[in-house]
């Protein structure tokens, strides 16, 4: 599904939101939307302003929480407990 589907509206917003979240791994985005890490990077490059994209890339580059294989085993959730107020 890599680049075959153009995401719009709520799906696009949710993908971008998940990509910005520190604790949401790329694998979660792939599981939910079928976009691997390189596809997420392309989507972000196409939908963010240049400065925002560069800031995002700097932020997620090498971040252990964005890759399941690099996470500590005790990190079992994809978001901070204070992140979603409706839970």
- Three-state DSSP state, 35: coil
For residue range 26-35, list pLDDT tens digits in order. 999 999 999 9
Residue 4 lies in a domain: no
* pLDDT of res. 73: 58
Domains in the chain, number:
1
Distance from C-alpha of 59 to C-alpha of 87, rounded to nearest angstrom: 27
Tokens (6 digits) for 24: 């949401």
Residue 26 is assigned to a structural domain of this protein: yes
Which pLDDT tens digit goes with each residue over 36-79? 999 999 999 999 999 999 999 998 887 776 766 655 555 555 55
Report d(CA 13, CA 9) in Å as an integer: 6
C-alpha–C-alpha distance, residues 23 and 8, integer Å: 23
Structure tokens at 54: 């560069």
Asked, for residue 76, whether it belongs to a domain, the answer is no
Asked if the structure places residue 75 within a domain, the reply is no
Residue 39 located in a structural domain: yes
Write out the residue range of the structural domain in which residue 49 sits.
Answer: 9-70
Q: Is residue 78 part of a domain?
A: no
Residue pointed to by tokens 């090498």: 62
On whether the pTM is more than 0.85, the answer is: no
């Amino acid at each position: 599904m890599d680049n075959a589907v153009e995401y719009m509206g709520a799906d696009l917003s949710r993908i971008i939101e998940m990509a910005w979240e520190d604790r949401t791994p790329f694998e979660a985005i792939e599981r939910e939307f079928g976009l691997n890490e390189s596809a997420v990077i392309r989507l972000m490059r196409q939908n963010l302003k240049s400065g925002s994209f560069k800031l995002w890339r700097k932020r997620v580059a090498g971040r252990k929480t964005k890759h399941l294989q690099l996470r500590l085993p005790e990190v079992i959730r994809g978001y901070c407990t204070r992140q979603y107020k409706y839970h």
